[in-house]
Structure 1
Amino acid sequence: MKIADMNWMQIEEYLKTDDRVVVPLGSVEQHAYLSMAVDMILAEKVAVDAAEPLGIPVYPAIPFGITPYFAGFAGTITLNVNTYTALIRDILDSLKRSGFKRIVLVNGHGGNQPAQSAAAEWMLANPEVKVRFYNWWNAPKTLAKVREIDPTSSHASWMENLPWTRLAHANSPDQRKPAIDYQRYGVMNTQESKEYLGDGNFGGWYQRSAEEELEMWNIAVQETRDILEGPWC
């Protein structure tokens, strides 16, 4: 259930019987022909879909993350690493004050990895609270299904081209893009990156069938739900 659909009294009542909560982590950045908010949309949706049967509240996704490599693309917002990790610590402090003791950060963006280190460091000072950092898109079963369908799938490919992220006014090509050279890309500045990536897709099919999309998504939801259920010690 979404925190947006609850009031503070309902949260207080929930905390009498359960102390789990989910915070999705996103990013606003280029995704080729898809929404700029892909990472935010998918992190929140997979969290909500996974948590709903368990009755666990899910916060709105944190929209902004760490994405300096896309800074050359119009509309991208990137946070300083220190800003981002400070934000994560403030969020964890707030959740602890409310009474949450088991917290899952469902991450939708690779650049947000510093949040994992920040959470681990935070737990040193708060050993009574468990924090789990979870990348939904590269969890073992989900990634295996993605690779089964298209081994070169990556950023802005079909695995992110879902009904909730595609734009009616911007159709994706019906083709497969060669995978980028990650070694070259890793040392490019923002302008070089933009020129090299072209539309922004890192490689793979731009779109696949609705059946393949749903099959992958159902695996991702179940795998996320398993994380919420534990183990917690």
Structure 2
Amino acid sequence: MKISDMNWQQVENYLSTDDRAIVPLGSTEQHAFLSLSVDSILAEKISTDAAEAYGIPVFPVLPFGMTPAFSDYPGTISLSMRTYTALLYDILNSLKRQGFRRILLVNGHGGNSPAQNIISEWMVHNPEVTVQLHNWWNAPLAWAKVTAIDPVASHASWMENFPWTRLAGVAQPDSQKPMVNLAQLRKMNPTQARSYLGDGNYGGYYQRPDHEMLAIWQTAIDELRQIIESL
């Protein structure tokens, strides 16, 4: 259940019987011909779809993350590590104060991966709270499903092209883009990265049939439910 569909009294009542919460982590960044909010849309939707059966509150997605390499693409917003650390600390401190003791962060953006170290550090000082980070898109079952369909999959390629991340009236190229050299890309500043990446797709087709995408989504939901049940 989305926290936006609850009032404080309902949350207080929920906490009398359960102490789990889900916080999706997203980003606002270039995704070639897809929405700039791909990572946020997917993190929030996978969280709400998976948690629906359990009645666990899902907080609004954190829409900004760390994505410095894309800073030259209009619409991208990148937070510093210092800011991101402070945000996660404040969120976790607030949830702890209210009584949440099992917190799942569902991440939709690779650049947010340092969050694992941030939450591990936070738990050193808050041992009574368990915080887990789940990168939904590259978790074992979801990633195996992706590669079984097409091993050439990457940022802003077909693997992020769901019906809910497409933009009306925007046509997707029908070609398969060669994979970029990731090792070389990591050496580039934002201006060089934009010149090298062009439209922003790291490599692969831009779109695949919806039945394949929905199969990936269901696999990801089932995998996330396993995580929820083990919190």
Q: Name the TM-score, length of structure 2 as normaliser.
A: 0.99
Q: What letter corresponds to residue 56 of structure 2 in structure 1?
A: I
Q: Give distance in 2, aligned partners of 1:130 and 1:41.
A: 25
Q: Name the counterpart of 1:71.
A: 71
Q: What do residues 96-122 of structure 1 show as CA deviations (whole Å, max 9, x unaligned)?
A: 011100000000001111211110111
Q: Give distance in 2, aligned partners of 1:217 and 1:3.
A: 22
SS of the residue corresponding to residue 131 of structure 2 reads: strand
The offset of 1:172, in angstroms, is 1.1
Q: What letter corresponds to residue 44 of structure 2 in structure 1?
A: E
Q: What do residues 72-110 of structure 1 show as CA deviations (whole Å, max 9, x unaligned)?
A: 101100001011011001100000011100000000001
Q: What letter corresponds to residue 73 of structure 1 in structure 2?
A: Y
Matches within 5 A, 1:39-188: 39-188=39-188
Q: Name the counterpart of 1:228.
A: 228
The offset of 1:189, in angstroms, is 0.9
State the Cα RMSD in Å: 0.7
Q: Residue 89 of structure 1 contacts residue 122 of structure 1 at CA under 8 Å; is this kept in 2? A: yes
Q: What do residues 4-61 of structure 1 show as CA deviations (whole Å, max 9, x unaligned)?
A: 0000000000011111000000000000000000000000000000000011110010
The offset of 1:169, in angstroms, is 2.0
The offset of 1:3, in angstroms, is 0.1
The offset of 1:225, in angstroms, is 1.1
Q: Name the counterpart of 1:12.
A: 12
Q: What letter corresponds to residue 77 of structure 2 in structure 1?
A: I
Unaligned runs of 5+ in 1: none
Unaligned runs of 5+ in 2: none
Give the % identical residues: 60
